[in-house]
Structures are given as C-alpha cells and as structure tokens.
Amino acid sequence: MAKLLLINLATYRPGVNNIGDVVGIFKDGHAFSPAEIAGFDIGDMPALTETEIHDELIKITPSQNTAYRLPEAKKWVFDRPEEKRVWQDQNGVWNELATTPKYPYCLPLKATEIDSAKTADKATAITLLQGKLELNIPKFSENLLAIDDLNLKVEISG
C-alpha cells in the first residue's frame, strides 16, 4: 500500500521540476498536510508497496559515474585531473551529466489515471508505472552530449 507525492500545477516551476515529478513515496497510512494536499497530486496505489514502486524506479535508473581525464602518463602535476559526472543511457552510451534534475523521476498521470490507480490490481498498477514512468536526466539537452573517449568500441580483427 503506497502513495506517491507528485508535482502538479501549483508546485510546477519551469526549469526546476516537471508536472508529475515524483517527490516522494509514502506508506498507505501516511497523513499528508493540508499544504501537501493543496500543492501536489497524490497518486494512491493501494495494490503496490513502497518497495515494489522503488523496484520499478531502479529498473529505469541509469548507471552514473565520475570520469577523469588524466594528464600525460608518468608526469607529476599540481592540478587535479579534469573530471565530470556521466550517465549511461538505455543504449549503453555514456553522456555528460551536466545538469542533475531536482527530482530524478516523473510519473505524468492524468486525473483519470490517478483515479484508476486507486482500484487497480497489482499487475495493472505495475503496468501503469512501467508505461508512464520517465527519467528526467535526458530531458535536459545538455545531458545528451556523448563522451567519445568513454564510448570507444574495440574491434577485434581475426
């Protein structure tokens, strides 16, 4: 039994968040404040537990790492090597993570979908999550810059 707290028009801030961004996942018995009720959509999913929803989020979470550009080999320097955060898209391509979204996931549900989730069985609720859940990292164009050095393909001739 879980509830999702989602950004709606009242809390939408262009460039900061998106309608449907997942702010939090709560147990079924959680009591939301009047401000939360007024400022967010509450996606009630009684057929799913918090853990089951987290499992679906993990499935779409990309690998992330820090990449380093090293100075010339065998040369001591005072400057730290250049580094940048990177993420791996669904095609296995490493891209620069220039902008980290405030909320990593978005679940843009229509009012009818929020209502139907309340009575959905587990399979239907998971299908709804899988069909609507979005990752926010690729929504920033600056996060779509592939890092060629990390995406080298080694060809073996034989």
Q: Tell me: the pLDDT tens digits for 78-113?
A: 777 788 999 999 999 999 999 999 999 999 999 889
- State which residues form the domain around 67: 2-150
* The predicted structure's pLDDT at residue 1: 85
At 156 the pLDDT is 59
pLDDT value at residue 81: 77
Please report the DSSP string for 1-38 in residue order. -EEEEEE-TTT--TTT--TTBEEEEEETT----HHHHH
Report pLDDT digits (tens) over 131-145.
999 999 999 999 999
In a domain, 157, yes or no: no
Residue linked to tokens 């843009």: 108
On whether residue 102 sits in a domain, the answer given is yes
Which is it for strands 40-45 and 2-7: parallel, antiparallel or unpaired? antiparallel
Classify residue 158: in a domain, yes or no: no
Residue 36 in any domain: the answer is yes
Q: Identity (one letter) of the amino acid at 140?
A: F
